[in-house]
Amino acid sequence: MLTDQLNASPMHGTIEKVTTRFVGQWEWCAELQRRDELPAVFLEFGPTAVVENARLRVPLSDPDYSRVFVTIQAPTGEGISRISQTEVSLSDVLNGLAPDDYRLRDAVLSLINGA
């Protein structure tokens, strides 16, 4: 659903593949791989969001880790360059998002566009 929403939007880079990798003890994220070697976008939550936020030079202040976070891959390909907290809670995801719920789409597009 999210990839359909993103690919139907005027964005830079079509989502080609969605992956989840389980490495180490945990990995709580989904990777949205884009075409044309554009940086990947990640939907992150739980421990992964905590760790990624802490790695940034300027982390989010007072994040709510019951929410989904959107991050974008750093230009070097390692780590992330930006993080944004969405309005979508983990409860929302578990209960199922409606097809006309564009909050994750809008958060991804905002991060891609540098807002």
DSSP track, 46-87? HHHHHHHHHHSSSPPSS--TTEEEEEEE-TTSSSEEEEEEEE
Judged against a pLDDT cut of 90, whether residue 5 lies above it is answered with no
Contact (CB, 8 A) for 33 and 40? yes
Q: In this predicted model, which residue has the larger pLDDT, 8 or 33?
A: 33
What six digits make up the tokens of 17?
């593949």
Longest dimension (CA), the chain: 37
Residue listed under structure tokens 């709580």: 28
pLDDT, tens only, 23-63:
666 778 999 988 778 899 999 998 999 999 999 999 999 99
What does the domain layout of the chain look like in residue ranges?
2-112
